[in-house]
Amino acid sequence: MIVLNLLANIGRLFLGFLGASGRLAIFAGRAVSHVFRPPFFPLITLQQMISIGYFSLPVVGLTTLFTGMALALQIFEGTARFNAEGAVAQVVAIGMARELAPVLGGLMVAGRVGAAMAAEIGTMRVTEQIDALTTLSTNPFKYLIAPRLIAGTLMLPFLVLVGDIIGIFGGFVISVNLLHFNAATYVKNTVDFLENVDIISGLVKAGVFGFIVTLMGCYHGFRSRGGAEGVGAATTNAVVTASILILTANLIITRLFFSN
């Protein structure tokens, strides 16, 4: 009996997971199709780009600055064990550009932007503002969701590029001032070592993460039900699912770029 219950519960969870994935896929397909079909809302898209891109600069900048600094200290300490301290510049550059700036940037933006989006759209849903849009001949997918998806997908690469520079600069500051590296050599090592693919793979990740964050914010907000509690749950779900999907997508994209 206990075994049967257990199996039934596993089955129910699995079916629930399949259903949720299907709903999300349909939502994503609909949303993306509206990105490419007029009417477009350039002004709202621009507003979203500013709110996602410009206003996330402090949080992404601080995150990558401190991460770059800590990374330099850790790599110096770690590589000293086999007398390879000279590699700090290279490892910081590759670590920031390929992995840390996109992933940490994506997670920070998920917390800042994804949560706010889910709360805003969720409140619009429970106060009938989304129904009101429909009755005013305005498709909520075009007016609310498409501008956010465009803004997220375009602005996260920009944020990550800034994050790359700040993170590498953080490593440089620690290396030169605390670890007594030669500044010119450090810069030369970084520039010589970095390849295009290091930067580009990070920016591609950023674009995908931006899409994930805004999609999750819109999806959970759009589906929220039942007043304040529903909006709260939507906000939590948006951040949690976006974070998990970012980490999963990160592994997949890394594998695709660097499979040999």
The contact set with other proteins (CB under 8 A) reads 124, 127-129, 131-132, 134-138, 143
Nearest approach, Cβ of 128 to other proteins (angstroms)? Answer: 4
Nearest approach, Cβ of 183 to other proteins (angstroms)? Answer: 48
C-beta closer to other proteins: residue 30 or 188: 30
Which residue is listed with tokens 């964050």? 213
C-beta closer to other proteins: residue 22 or 39: 39
137: left (phi over 0), alpha (psi -120 to 50) or beta: left
Picking from 56, 35, 45, 164, the residue whose alpha carbon sits closest to that of residue 113 is 56
Nearest approach, Cβ of 51 to other proteins (angstroms)? Answer: 12
Nearest approach, Cβ of 124 to other proteins (angstroms)? Answer: 8
Nearest approach, Cβ of 138 to other proteins (angstroms)? Answer: 5
C-beta closer to other proteins: residue 69 or 130: 130
Picking from 251, 214, 258, 257, the residue whose alpha carbon sits closest to that of residue 103 is 251
Nearest approach, Cβ of 115 to other proteins (angstroms)? Answer: 17
Which residue is listed with tokens 């990550």? 160
The DSSP annotation for the chain comes to -HHHHHHHHHHHHHHHHHHHHHHHHHHHHHHHHHHSSSPP-HHHHHHHHHHHTGGGHHHHHHHHHHHHHHHHHHHHHHHGGGT-GGGHHHHHHHHIIIIIHHHHHHHHHIIIIIHHHHHHHHHHHHTTHHHHHHHTT--HIIIIIHHHHHHHHHHHHHHHHHHHHHHHHHHHHHHHHTS---HHHHHHHHHHH--HHHHHHHHHHHHHHHHHHHHHHHHHHHT--SHHHHHHHHHHHHHHHHHHHHHHHHHHHHHHHT--
C-beta closer to other proteins: residue 40 or 193: 40
C-beta closer to other proteins: residue 4 or 226: 226
C-beta closer to other proteins: residue 5 or 137: 137
C-beta closer to other proteins: residue 41 or 66: 41
Nearest approach, Cβ of 17 to other proteins (angstroms)? Answer: 20
